[in-house]
Structure 1
Amino acid sequence: MRQMPGITTGVSSVIGHRRRIIDFASEVERRDFPLIATPSSGDCVAMAQSILEATRSIGVMASVQPIYHRVAVSLAETGAHLHELSGGRFRLGIGVSHALSHQVYHVQPGRPLEDCRAYVAQMRAAVERTGPQAPIIMAALKDRMFDLAVEIADGVFPSRACRLHLAKQVARIPADRRAAGFFVGNAIPTVIDADPEVALHVMRQSQVFYMGLPNYRNYWRSVGYVEEMDAVEAALSSGEHDRIPALLSENWLRNVTLFGTPSTVREGVEAYFDIGVLPVLSPVLRDASPSAHYESVLALYD
C-alpha cells in the first residue's frame, strides 16, 4: 500500500473563499490522502470544525492554535467536543506562533517552554470537565521545544523544519513513545512544475515573508545555515528585500521545501517517510492561478 502525504489548506480563512477551502478538503478526502491541516492564519480550529462536518474519514488537524490567543481550558473543551463528534479524527495543534501573530491579537508572549508546559498541564487537568480530549500536537522547531513535545504531548508538528536536522530529532524519540502512536509531521512548502527552474524561482520568491521572522531565521541558523541567514539579515537591515530570493541557496531550499517536477517532489516525500515523518504538503499559491498548484499537488498520486 502506497504512503501518501498530508496536505494543508494553505490558509485557514480567506474572506469570501471559505467554502472553496471546504470543497478542497472534500476532494483531498476523496483522493484518499490521510490528513488535512488548517494552518494558524485565521481561526484554524473553526475551519477544522467545518472540514470535519463536511468529511467522513480523513484526519483533520488544527495546526497550530497559538497558546496566547485562547485560554487553555476553553481550548481543551473545544478540542474534546470535536474529538467526540468526529469519532477521533481531530488532532489539536498548539504552539507559540510568532511576533506578527502576537501583534494582531495584542498579546504579549512570555517564556515559550515554561508557558507551553503550563498550558498543556492546564488542558490535561480539565479532563473531568471535558471528557476524553483530542490528541495534543505541539509545534516545535528547536531541540528543547521538540523534546518537550515528546515529553508532554501526543505528537509534534514543525513547519519548514530542516529535514536533515529533523531526522536527528526523530531518532531521539523513545521507541515506546512511537509504538504508542506519537505523531510526527512537518509542514513543507511545495511547488510542482514541469520546468524545475520555474519551480525553483517560485519557491524562492515565496519564502521572503518567512525570512522576515526572527524565530525562523534563528532556527535555520542553529541548524547550520549561518551564511544564508547572515546574508538575509544584511539585506533586511539595508531594506533590500528584493535581494532575498537570490540569497536562498538550493541546499537550504532542498532541505526545507519541496519543489520541482512531480517525480522529484514524490522522491522528496519518500525521504520524509524514510525518517519517520508524515510530510504535510503546503501548496505555494501563484498569483496567476491560486487553485492551479492545489490541483498539481492533488494530481501527484492520481
Structure 2
Amino acid sequence: MELTGIGVWSSQLRYGDPSESAETAAELEELGFTALWIPDVGGPVFDAVQRLLAATKRTVVATGILNLWMHSASDVAESYAALTAQHGERFLLGIGVSHAPLIDAVQPGRYRQPLAATASFLDALDTAQQPVPEQQRVLAALGPKMLALAARRCRGAHPYLVTPEHTATARSILGESPLLLPEQTVIVCDSADDARAIGTDWLRAYLALPNYANNLLRSGFSADDLAHVSDRLFSAVIAWGDEEAIMRRVAEHQAAGADHVCLQVLVSDQRAFPRAEWRRIAAACAG
C-alpha cells in the first residue's frame, strides 16, 4: 500500500446516513482523494469500513483510529482478514489508545499505561490466527515514545490535531521509512470570525483531553493559549480561509515530512456531509 496525496477524515462517513455515506465515498474517490479516514467512538466500525470499501475501487479506507479499548485483538484480526480477502489490501488499520476521560467514564480506572496497552494489543494482533501485518497498520501517535513504537511495530503514525512543526518532529523520531499521515482540520470560509464561529467550540472539546493538551504544550503553546483558545493556537491547529490557504497548510506538512495529509472539513452543521467544500478542495488539488 502506497499512501500519498490528500485524503478525507470524516465522522460523517462513519456515523452519517449509510446510503449517503456510500454515495459520498464513491464521489470522493472520483474527486481524487486517496484515502478515507473514519473515527471509532463506539458502534460497529467494521460495518462502516465494509460499506466504504464496497463503494470504492481504488481508495484506501483507514480507521483514524480504531479504539483498542473497545475491541479484542482477535476479533480485529478476524475482521481485517475478511475485509482484505474481499477487497484486497485497501484497508489500513489505524489503532489508538484514546483518552482517559472517555474510557474511565465507562469503567473508572481502566485507562492505564497507554504505551504498554498499545504494545500488548499489537502483540495480540501478531499472534492472532490470521495476524494483521505490520505493513497494514499505523498508530495514533503524538509523543516521542508512541511515535517510536509506531516506527518499530507498524507502518507508521497517524497524528491528530497537530501542526506542521509537530510533523517535522514526528518525522525526526520516525526516521525516513515509516509513513507519516497527519490529520489536518480545515474550515473553508471568508473570515476569521466565520472560522471562529465554526471551530472554537469544536477545538475546545479536544483541548479538554489530556493527550492533546499535553502535546500542544510540548509544541510550545501556553496554558493560557489552551484555556482561552487563543487566535495563535486556533490558526496553528485549524487551517482556515480559501482553498489556497488550505493548500498552503498541506504543503507545509508535506515539506515537514508528511507522506499523506488527511483533511477534516468543519462546517456549521457538523452532522452534514461537507460535499461542496470537498469539491472545492479537490478542484484546488487538481489545479
The residue aligned with 2:23 is 23
Structure 1 residue 199 displacement after superposition = 2.4
Which of 236, 247, 263 is the equivalent residue of 1:266?
Answer: 247
Structure 1 residue 111 displacement after superposition = 0.8
Distance 2:46 2:238 in 1: 25
1:210 counterpart letter in structure 2: Y
The reply to whether residue 296 of structure 1 matches residue 283 of structure 2 is no
Distance 1:287 1:86 in 2: 33
2:217 counterpart letter in structure 1: R
Structure 1 residue 288 displacement after superposition = 9.0
Distance 2:224 2:261 in 1: 24
The reply to whether residue 189 of structure 1 matches residue 185 of structure 2 is yes
Structure 1 residue 84 displacement after superposition = 2.6
The residue aligned with 2:268 is 286
Whether the 8 Å contact between 2:189 and 2:195 is mirrored in structure 1 is yes
**Is the partner of 1:91 in helix, strand or coil?**
strand
Distance change >3 Å, CA 86–CA 172, structure 1 → 2: same
The residue aligned with 2:211 is 215
**Is the partner of 2:64 in helix, strand or coil?**
strand
Structure 1 residue 103 displacement after superposition = 4.7
Structure 1 residue 186 displacement after superposition = 1.2
**Is the partner of 1:207 in helix, strand or coil?**
helix
Structure 1 residue 49 displacement after superposition = 1.5
2:65 counterpart letter in structure 1: V
Whether the 8 Å contact between 2:167 and 2:257 is mirrored in structure 1 is no
Structure 1 residue 174 displacement after superposition = 2.9
Whether the 8 Å contact between 2:10 and 2:36 is mirrored in structure 1 is yes
TM value normalised by structure 1: 0.83
Could you say what the CA RMSD is over the residues aligned between the two structures, in angstroms? 2.3
Per-residue CA distance 1:55-114 (angstroms, 9 max, x = gap) = 111111011111111111221121122223221111001111123432565471221111
Distance change >3 Å, CA 288–CA 186, structure 1 → 2: closer
Whether the 8 Å contact between 2:77 and 2:132 is mirrored in structure 1 is no
1:22 counterpart letter in structure 2: A
**Is the partner of 1:130 in helix, strand or coil?**
coil
2:126 counterpart letter in structure 1: R
Distance 1:104 1:46 in 2: 25
1:152 counterpart letter in structure 2: R
The residue aligned with 1:249 is 230
TM value normalised by structure 2: 0.87
1:137 counterpart letter in structure 2: V
Structure 1 residue 263 displacement after superposition = 1.0
Whether the 8 Å contact between 1:149 and 1:156 is mirrored in structure 2 is yes
Q: Which has the higher contact order (CA 8 A, sep 6+)?
A: 2
Whether the 8 Å contact between 2:147 and 2:174 is mirrored in structure 1 is no
Q: Within 5 Å, give how 1:144-223 maps onto structure 2.
A: 144-175=145-176, 178=177, 182-223=178-219
1:172 counterpart letter in structure 2: I
Whether the 8 Å contact between 1:44 and 1:64 is mirrored in structure 2 is no
Distance change >3 Å, CA 253–CA 49, structure 1 → 2: same
Per-residue CA distance 1:159-201 (angstroms, 9 max, x = gap) = 10232122122023333xx1xxx32111122100133542244
**Is the partner of 1:144 in helix, strand or coil?**
helix
The residue aligned with 2:111 is 109
**Is the partner of 1:287 in helix, strand or coil?**
coil
Distance change >3 Å, CA 261–CA 271, structure 1 → 2: same
Distance 1:11 1:173 in 2: 31
| Equivalenced residues, count | 276
Whether the 8 Å contact between 2:29 and 2:59 is mirrored in structure 1 is yes
Structure 1 residue 203 displacement after superposition = 2.4
Distance change >3 Å, CA 48–CA 289, structure 1 → 2: closer
Unaligned runs of 5+ in 1: 233-246
Distance change >3 Å, CA 132–CA 208, structure 1 → 2: closer
Distance 2:106 2:85 in 1: 29
Structure 1 residue 251 displacement after superposition = 2.6
The reply to whether residue 82 of structure 1 matches residue 78 of structure 2 is no
